[in-house]
A and B are shown apart, each in its own frame.
Chain A
Amino acid sequence: MKKWSKWFWVLTMSIMAFSVQSCEENPPIVPPVVEGKTSIDLNFSALWNGQPLTFLTGWFEQPSPQKEYVQFFNFGMIVSKLRLVKEDGTEVLLGDGYQWIDFKKQRTKFNYEVPVGKYKAVRFTLGLDSAINHGDPNQWGAEHPLNGNLTGMHWGWAGGYIFQAIDGNYKDSLTDKYTKGMSFHTATDVMVRNFEVPVGTSMGAATFEVKEKATTPVQFNYHINRYYQGIELKKGSVSHSEGIKETALMQKLLENLKVNSAFEIPTP
């Protein structure tokens, strides 16, 4: 009886397993194994004094004697001619060279296929060539970085793109009850800036190597506190890159990016 019972359960379980299995659709045809592509994952990070930038939480102390405090609401940028520089000085364009980076939305990591080799720098333009800047924003595909409806980084009527948008609030002190607005929108042809960011630190240049059929991570840090170096927000917390005062303020902010080495690609 015991033996019969054992075989009963084995048979029952087998039928059940078969029944369940037979309900599945035909297994998908497995494509042939594709070997890994040769690529980089370019990852942008916004940092404040080395710590990841957060949005709508906490207050960051301004690196100025006034000790103002800032809070971020939005931080995006449009770059063009984004490219790697090989050890021998030749350049490799990343995709079509355009990218929209949005730190709040964490649209910060981009995969690009690139040739194997050693690379020593990243070059890019913050902003766009005049023809593109004032061209039809509807010419771009729905998901292209220059599609103004996707990014919101286009000043419809006024014409032209916003190359970098930083919005938030500031306070004179942490005990200040009321916040004031902060809005820095980089735009217009005269605010276009080119950057070369070497791999490594000021202590020494370096390279990173892209190996065949592997994805190499490349970290790109934006030290946003260096953008604010020496800026007194109570004297000017708004610039839309127009008008005498706001143009001067934006030029100072952009100068800070270069003078204070706000961009960094750490040695791998």
Chain B
Amino acid sequence: MKQGLIILGVLILGLSSCRKDPEDPLHKTPSSYKPTLVDPATIFPVGKFGMPQLPSDNPFTEEGIYLGRMLFYDPILSFDSSISCGSCHKQEYAFAEPKKFSTGIFGLQTGRNSSSLYNLAYSRKFFWDARQSTLREQVFEPIQAHNEMAMTLPFLAKRLARTDRYIEYFDKAFGSNPNVFDMSKALEQFLMTLVSKDSRFNGFFPGKFSLLSDTEKRGALLFNGLVDFDMVTGLATGTDCFHCHGGALAQQNNPDMGGIANNGLDGNFTDKGYGAITGNPADRGLFKTPSLLNIAVTGPYMHDGRFATLDEVIDHYSDNVNYLSPTISPMMAAHGNKQLKLTPQQKADLKAFLLTMTDSAFLTNPAYSNPFKK
């Protein structure tokens, strides 16, 4: 009798284990709603930037993008519902924040400067220390970081599942109940749609010099010229910015070609950056090279926000590069370890050229704005 009960128990257990858990959001019975696919060619300026490599398992849909946008701006993603992604990544600053460090929940400070967010589909490394390779993995980190949003994923999943708009939009976008996996895919979709392409720089790139003012033109020649010095005047004739900030994206995305580099800020590293990720001493002090598009509004600058203004940044590259930094980019050290010593006019020219990279349309595009703001 006892054995019979055990057999019956095992049989019930076996059969019940085959049934889908009705609470499992990923196994929700799909509704008849069909999300509207969005052609990537309508998102990305193929003629300017080419087509990026896109994740094959997360096609763009209107509903997915909108869901991602809501999540980006929704403070319920933080533990105390006080801050959202958009709190530290503000559209008017190209999704950076004009503070050295940002403030997470309970007033805690972040360890690095808030990165700007645009043209992310063209990047393959994320965060200043390049520790993540996909956006959907990246988004989990600030959500869970104790000094940012300090949320736990199980708690977040429950919170999302109690919210009507997410019940509706997860269903529409993914045919699922709210869950953190599809949340990361929706955020990935929205973040990839943040495309900055309409700066004056992108209008005349490459080579339509006639559209530049004289000072911008001189700045462009410095920016895109290899480091050299005039034999008569001794003045630098090029600043070689383009090796690490070249192309229409004003960014090198190959980590080994300047995409992750030590730009001569320090001789000793209080923040090891990429080196802390790889554990390789040769990577100490290396950080992801940011795009210079919208550089006028993304200050303060560098991974630690040490430079408050663009002028200070130019001063660094002109006069204060630490060529003895043990892991300095070979491309910088190859300049003969000689400071450029730009003249005030050259600095002004370079700055004028950098200011052509501001994309006002991007900074005010309503498609990227907070959907909860009326």
Cross-chain contact B51 with A142 (CB below 8 angstroms): yes
The answer to the question of A102 belonging to the interface, with a C-beta cut-off of 8 Å to chain B, is yes
Determine, out of B7-15, B57-65, B82-90, the stretch whose residues face the partner at the interface: B7-15
Q: A5 CA to B242 CA in the complex, in Å?
A: 80
Cross-chain contact B253 with A149 (CB below 8 angstroms): yes
Cross-chain contact B51 with A56 (CB below 8 angstroms): no
Task: Kindly provide the distance from the CB of A170 to the nearest chain B CB, expressed in whole angstroms.
Answer: 9
The answer to the question of A118 belonging to the interface, with a C-beta cut-off of 8 Å to chain B, is no
Cross-chain contact B17 with A149 (CB below 8 angstroms): no
Question: Of the candidates B254, B258, B331, which one forms a contact with A181 in the assembled complex, judged by CB atoms under 8 Å apart?
Answer: B331
Question: Of the candidates B50, B257, B330, which one forms a contact with A140 in the assembled complex, judged by CB atoms under 8 Å apart?
Answer: B50
Question: Of the candidates B14, B48, B249, B282, which one forms a contact with A20 in the assembled complex, judged by CB atoms under 8 Å apart?
Answer: B14
Q: How many residues of A contact B (CB 8 A)?
A: 56
Task: Kindly provide the distance from the CB of B262 to the nearest chain A CB, expressed in whole angstroms.
Answer: 11
Question: Of the candidates B17, B47, B280, B332, which one forms a contact with A138 in the assembled complex, judged by CB atoms under 8 Å apart?
Answer: B47
B7 to chain A: which residues have CB within 8 Å?
8, 11-12, 15
Determine, out of A34-42, A121-129, A152-160, the stretch whose residues face the partner at the interface: A152-160
The answer to the question of A96 belonging to the interface, with a C-beta cut-off of 8 Å to chain B, is no
| Residues 1 to 40 of chain B near chain A (Cβ within 8 Å) | 3, 6-7, 10-11, 13-15, 17-18
The answer to the question of B49 belonging to the interface, with a C-beta cut-off of 8 Å to chain A, is yes
B13 to chain A: which residues have CB within 8 Å?
19
A116 to chain B: which residues have CB within 8 Å?
none
A237 to chain B: which residues have CB within 8 Å?
334
Q: A178 CA to B3 CA in the complex, in Å?
A: 79
Task: Kindly provide the distance from the CB of A248 to the nearest chain B CB, expressed in whole angstroms.
Answer: 15
Cross-chain contact B330 with A181 (CB below 8 angstroms): yes
Determine, out of A161-169, A192-200, A219-227, the stretch whose residues face the partner at the interface: A161-169
The answer to the question of B361 belonging to the interface, with a C-beta cut-off of 8 Å to chain A, is no
Given A19-B14, A149-B122, do A179 and B247 touch, yes or no (CB 8 Å)? Answer: no
Q: Report whether over half of chain B's contact residues are helix, strand or loop; otherwise say mixed.
A: loop
Which of the four size classes fits the interface of chain B? Answer: 35 or more
Task: Kindly provide the distance from the CB of B18 to the nearest chain A CB, expressed in whole angstroms.
Answer: 5
B280 to chain A: which residues have CB within 8 Å?
56
Cross-chain contact B256 with A105 (CB below 8 angstroms): yes
Cross-chain contact A4 with B247 (CB below 8 angstroms): no
Cross-chain contact A159 with B330 (CB below 8 angstroms): no
Tally A-B pairs: CB < 8 A. 144
Cross-chain contact A183 with B330 (CB below 8 angstroms): yes
Which B residue sits closest to A24, measured CB to CB?
B18
Cross-chain contact A23 with B18 (CB below 8 angstroms): yes
Q: A76 CA to B53 CA in the complex, in Å?
A: 20
Which A residue sits closest to B252, measured CB to CB?
A152
The answer to the question of B363 belonging to the interface, with a C-beta cut-off of 8 Å to chain A, is no
Cross-chain contact B15 with A19 (CB below 8 angstroms): yes
Given A19-B15, A148-B247, A152-B253, do A142 and B53 touch, yes or no (CB 8 Å)? Answer: yes
Task: Kindly provide the distance from the CB of A184 to the nearest chain B CB, expressed in whole angstroms.
Answer: 9
Cross-chain contact B17 with A23 (CB below 8 angstroms): yes
Which A residue sits closest to B328, measured CB to CB?
A181
Cross-chain contact B206 with A19 (CB below 8 angstroms): no
B331 to chain A: which residues have CB within 8 Å?
167, 181, 183
Interface string of B270-283 (1 = CB under 8 A from A): 00000000001011
Question: Of the candidates A18, A74, A178, A238, which one forms a contact with B14 in the assembled complex, judged by CB atoms under 8 Å apart?
Answer: A18
Given A12-B10, A148-B50, A168-B330, 6 further pairs, Cβ under 8 A: A19-B13, A22-B14, A142-B54, A152-B259, A180-B337, A182-B330
Task: Kindly provide the distance from the CB of A105 to the nearest chain B CB, expressed in whole angstroms.
Answer: 7
Task: Kindly provide the distance from the CB of B154 to the nearest chain A CB, expressed in whole angstroms.
Answer: 24
The answer to the question of A243 belonging to the interface, with a C-beta cut-off of 8 Å to chain B, is yes
Task: Kindly provide the distance from the CB of A69 to the nearest chain B CB, expressed in whole angstroms.
Answer: 14
Cross-chain contact B50 with A142 (CB below 8 angstroms): yes
Question: Of the candidates B256, B259, B334, which one forms a contact with A102 in the assembled complex, judged by CB atoms under 8 Å apart?
Answer: B256
Task: Kindly provide the distance from the CB of A112 to the nearest chain B CB, expressed in whole angstroms.
Answer: 22
Cross-chain contact B14 with A15 (CB below 8 angstroms): yes
Task: Kindly provide the distance from the CB of A183 to the nearest chain B CB, expressed in whole angstroms.
Answer: 4
Cross-chain contact A157 with B249 (CB below 8 angstroms): no
The answer to the question of B310 belonging to the interface, with a C-beta cut-off of 8 Å to chain A, is no
Cross-chain contact B50 with A157 (CB below 8 angstroms): no
Cross-chain contact A57 with B220 (CB below 8 angstroms): no
Task: Kindly provide the distance from the CB of B278 to the nearest chain A CB, expressed in whole angstroms.
Answer: 10
The answer to the question of B224 belonging to the interface, with a C-beta cut-off of 8 Å to chain A, is yes
B17 to chain A: which residues have CB within 8 Å?
19-20, 23
Which A residue sits closest to B19, measured CB to CB?
A23
Q: A137 CA to B248 CA in the complex, in Å?
A: 10
B337 to chain A: which residues have CB within 8 Å?
180
